[in-house]
Amino acid sequence: MDLVSIVVPCYNVAPWLDDCVKSINAQTYKNVEAVFVDDGSTDDTLKVLKQLCEGHDNLHVFSQKNKGVSAARNAGLAKAKGQYVMFLDADDMLYPETVEIFHSYMIDGEGSDCVSSELIRVPEQTKFEGFSIKEKPNAKYYVDKTKMLKRFYKRKFGYGASNKMYRMEIIKTLPDYPHVFNEEMKYSEDFNFNFRYMVNCNRLAKLDITSYIYRNREGSAVHSPFKVYKLTSLIGLEEEEEYCKKYLPKMVKTVRSRKVTRRLGWLNQIAESGFTDESVINPLKEYVKANFKDLQNKFLMINYFFISRKINKNLRRAKCQNA
């Protein structure tokens, strides 16, 4: 029976670890190992992990100085021994049948190089109780890389690494393995990892079931307002554009459009948050105006004018207050 490794990066998540571990122990597929990497937590995360994993030979706990989620995932990959790999955020949970179903599609028939599904968002205090996949999944397969990636860029498979199963043999072929998550990126590093993986993926199965339980938590990076560290995701977008120029020219327009929409999203967050650092704001605005032609959805440009007006209003108010 193939071994499936679940890599779990952990940082200050002590209150949610019990549910996370329960969901791993409840898997109907029994040849599973979990690799927990505590990323220098300042709460009781490491202590709780050791308590929960004690006596379980398939649950492994490692710790490191705080380096960020990418470094923690990379460290977990280096320790993982499975033929197949999944990533689970420590404040989230898996349905009990998730690994068994995903693995069956990885090995069934022609086999797949990646399996993806839907997730369900639940309130922060949700417990691991009563979750089960009742229905038989239907799969849609993607074998054309350009079509696969365009669907990915449109969020049809989700941007994250946490609702998917991967082949370790493919991950090991990626440049700089096991450092396959870019540690310079503090945001959207999983999007970039998925891009790098999918360009080496010959068949992806998208399942129509919900198999991942995403905890809506206020402190998570996804729900945080604009922060300058989010700009590090541009590192990945530049890399993706260069790759597509060389090997997937039909994807270039899609990547360039995302480079604009990403900045538009940040400008919207800036307008709503009252952020007023012009050294950050002005380059974003200038890029959007200079590359408006790259937008595949031109209606978004209408939003830009309203966003820009609100930002300018915030800037004028800030200058008056500082005068």
**CATH number of the domain encompassing residue 65:** 3.90.550.10
Q: What is the 3-state secondary structure (H, E, C) of 149-207?
A: HHHHHCCCCCCCCCCEEEEHHHHCCCCCCCCCCCCCCCCCHHHHHHHHHHCCCCCEEEE
Q: Is the Cβ–Cβ distance between 128 and 58 less than 8 Å?
A: no
Q: What is the pLDDT of residues 236-280, one digit of tens each?
A: 999 999 999 999 999 999 999 999 999 999 999 999 998 999 999
Has residue 281 got a pLDDT over 80? yes
Domain boundary among 156, 191, 219: 219
Greater pLDDT, 117 or 219: 117
> Rounded mean pLDDT of the chain?
94
Q: Are residues 242 and 194 in the same domain?
A: no
Are residues 317 and 238 part of one domain?
yes
Q: Which structural domain range is residue 282 located in?
A: 228-322
Domain final position from 186, 219, 252: 219
- Same domain (yes/no): 211, 257: no
> What is the distance of C-alpha 11 from the center of its chain?
16
When pLDDT is averaged across residues 91-116 and rounded to a whole number, the result is 95
- Domain co-membership, 264 together with 191: no
Least confident of 95-104, 279-288, 310-319: 310-319
Instruction: Please tell me whether residues 262 and 120 are part of one structural domain.
Output: no
Q: Are residues 100 and 161 in the same domain?
A: yes
Clarify whether residues 139 and 66 are in a common domain. yes
Confidence class for position 222, pLDDT limits 50, 70, 90: low
Q: Are residues 174 and 257 in the same domain?
A: no
Question: What is the Cα–Cα distance from 168 to 81, expressed in whole angstroms?
Answer: 9
For residue range 145-191, list pLDDT tens digits in order: 999 999 999 989 988 999 999 999 999 999 999 999 999 999 999 99
Q: Is 79 exposed, middle or buried (0-12, 13-18, 19+ CB in 10 A)?
A: middle
Q: What is the pLDDT of residue 300?
A: 84
235 and 141 in a common domain: no
46 and 70, same domain (yes or no):
yes
Do residue 245 and residue 110 come from a single domain?
no
Residue ending a domain, among 178, 201, 219, is 219
Our count of domains for the chain comes to 2
Same structural domain, 121 and 247: no
Q: Are 308 and 256 in contact (CB under 8 A)?
A: no
